[in-house]
Structure 1
Amino acid sequence: MEKSKEIMSRTANIIKSISNQPYILSGLRAASRIDDPRAQRVWPYLFESSKENSTCVTDEEKIIYMILRLYAIHQQGKNDQVCEFNRNEGRTFIDELIRLRRLLDDVNGLDRRVNNLLATNNINYFYKQLVILIKIMKSKNDDFKIDYVNLAKDMYYLQSYSSSKKIRLAWGKKYYKNIKY
C-alpha cells in the first residue's frame, strides 16, 4: 500500500512540474520507452527522488513513465489541463471510457479495444491499449479529463497477477454495468 501512495505522489508532482513544458511533453510523446534518448527530457523529474543507485529502471519508474507519456499524449494541443487532480470528483480512466462510449455512433470498435484491454495480463500490452484509447478520446475532441494519479495506482497493481485480476474485474464491471446487449 505504501508503494502505491508513493507512486501516486510522485506522479502528481511530476505532472504538475512538466504540465507547462512543451519540450518535455513532446519528448514523452515521441519516446514510447523510458530508455529512448527523447525520454531523457523527463529524467531529471523522474529520477530526482529515486532511491535506487543501480543502472536498472525500477518497475515503479516504468509505471510513472507510462503514465507521464499517456498524459503527454492526452495534453497535446489542449489549453486546459487534462489531468484531474481532485480525487473526490476526479474522473477515472474507465469513467471516461464509459462517457466516450456514449458519444460514439458505432461502439463495436471501442468495445473490442476494451475487451482486449481487460483480457490481458501483460502490462506492456495493457499500456499499448491505453495509448490507443487515449488517442480515440482525443479524436472526439471533447473535454475528457482523467485522474492520471489514480491510473498510476491501478497500473502499479496491474503488475501483480492477483491484484491485476481485481483491477480488470472492477474496470469490467463498471464499464459493462449499464450496457444493454
Structure 2
Amino acid sequence: MPTGVHLRDARQQLFDAAERVLLRDGPIGLTSRAVTDEAGCAKGVLHRHFSDFDAFLAELVLDRAAQLDTHAGALREAAGSGTVADNLTGALIALFGPVAVAIIPLITFRDELRARLRQARPGGGIEILAGGTTAISAYLADERERGRIAADADIDSLTLSLVGGGHLLFADRDSGPPTTETVSNLVTAVIADAVQRRPAR
C-alpha cells in the first residue's frame, strides 16, 4: 500500500482484509499481522490509523454494525408490503450474515474489545445485533398496527423467538449457512399463531 493512501481507503482495505481473515481463520487467527498480510501492506499502516489493534477491531465492529442498520431500515420500510413471513426471512438472513455471526465470538474472545465497545456504544459488542433486533420488533409492531398480525400479539416474545432461533440456525459456520427455506420455516412457525389470529379487515 502506498504511504500516501487516503485514510478512508486504508481503513476500508484493512477492514475488508480483517473480515476475510475472520471468516477463514476465526477469532484466534485474527491478528494485526494476519490483517496486514491479507491486505498486502506493511504492519505500520494499521498503527498509523489506529492507536492499537483493539481500537482497530472496535472500529471494524462498529462499521459492520452500521451496515446492519441499513438492512434494519429497509425492513421497517417493508411493513404492509409482501408477506410478513418473507419480510422477516429476508431480515434474519441479512442480520445473521457470516460476518455478523463471526464477529460475536470475536467479541467474546477479546476482553479489551468488549471494553472499547462499551465505551463507544451502549450495549457493547452485542450491539451489533441490537439494531436488527430493534428493527424486527418495530416492524412487527407496524404490522400489528396494519392488522397483518394479531392485535394482541406479544411483540417482545416474537422478537426474541425470531432473533434467538435465527442465531442458532446461523451459528454453525462449519456446515454453512441455512437455506432460505430453513429460515422461512422457522419464521413461519414462530409467527403462525399471530398471523392466523389477525382480525379480519
- Which protein is richer in helix relative to its size? 2
Give the structure-1-normalised TM-score: 0.33
Rg larger for: 2
**Structure with the larger RCO, 1 or 2 (CA within 8 Å, 6+ apart):** 1
Give the structure-2-normalised TM-score: 0.30
